[in-house]
Amino acid sequence: MKTIKKAKAGWKQNPEAVQRDILRVATAEFARNGLSGARIDRIAARTKSSKRMIYYYFGDKDRLYARALEAAYAKVRAGEDQLDLAGLPPDEALARLVGFTFDHHRSNPAFIRMVMIENIHHAAFLAGSEAIRGMNLAAIDKLADIVRRGEAAGLFRAGLDPIELHWQISALSFFNVSNRATFSALFGKALFGRERQEHLRDHSVEMILRYVRV
């Protein structure tokens, strides 16, 4: 009878959709304002749901933030999985990976901001999330494969560390988005137009390639 009643009500009654909606709004709010700057009231106001439901599904602000962080990583890593590099020669694969990473970060400023915020918080929430750590090792695996193939082919110098290489690629791609505001406030917006950004990407690719070559 209970189920019948629910069915009859025909109302919202879609818990997963409600949670997705909340997470979407929460991510935007956290990305824009930081953890302490974010307001539960603003999230509730922009949600199709209500403040009560936020607490019902997520417990409190910190846990909502943790879930938004997880969701942001999941979404971004899902995008990265689209990239297929196995069939390419190692230098082309690396070039493509760098270019992709640069563009991908550039297309996901909300994710970048979530990571910035997490760093402000000393990665306290990331440390607690098993889920996210798992996702990121795949990225290293990809690089490790490229490095191995590049060394084997005599194209790359020996002794490259895939994690360090990931660090270098990330540095160039991440900084471009994370520090855009201060950089352009100090030195103008010239670097951040479409054309110059494409140059920056190409130069980043070249920088990495020059670095790994024998």
Q: In the complex, which residues of this chain contact a second copy (CB under 8 A)?
A: 33-37, 113, 115-123, 126-127, 132-133, 136, 140, 163-164, 166-168, 170-172, 174-176, 178-188, 190-191, 199-200, 203-204, 206-208, 210-211
Q: Does 49 bind DNA (CB under 7 A)?
A: yes
From a second copy, DNA, none, interface partner of 22 (C-beta below 5 to 8 A by class): none
Residues of this chain, 76-105, that bind DNA according to CB under 7 A:
none
How far apart are CB 41 and a second copy at their closest, in Å? 12
Q: Kindly tell me which residue out of 59, 109, 128, 134 binds DNA, with binding defined by CB under 7 A.
A: 59
Nearer to a second copy, 7 or 138 (CB): 138
From a second copy, DNA, none, interface partner of 172 (C-beta below 5 to 8 A by class): a second copy
The residues facing 213 across adjacent strands are 156
How far apart are CB 50 and DNA at their closest, in Å? 4
Q: Does 193 bind DNA (CB under 7 A)?
A: no
How far apart are CB 197 and a second copy at their closest, in Å? 11
How far apart are CB 197 and DNA at their closest, in Å? 34
Q: Whole-angstrom Cα distance, residue 74 to residue 136?
A: 10
Only segment of 37-45, 75-83, 172-180, 187-195 that touches DNA (CB under 7 A): 37-45
Number of Cα atoms under 13 Å in the Cβ half of residue 167:
5
Residue by residue, DSSP assigns the chain as -HHHHHHHHT-S--HHHHHHHHHHHHHHHHHHHHHHH--HHHHHHHSSS-HHHHHHHH-SHHHHHHHHHHHHHHHHHHHHHT---TTS-HHHHHHHHHHHHHHHHHH-HHHHHHHHHHHHTTTHHHHT-HHHHHHHHHHHHHHHHHHHHHHHTTSBPTT--HHHHHHHHHHHHHHHHHTHHHHHHHH-SGGGSHHHHHHHHHHHHHHHHHHHB-
The residues of the shown chain that bind DNA, judged by CB under 7 A, are 6, 11-15, 18, 38-41, 49-53, 55-56, 59-62
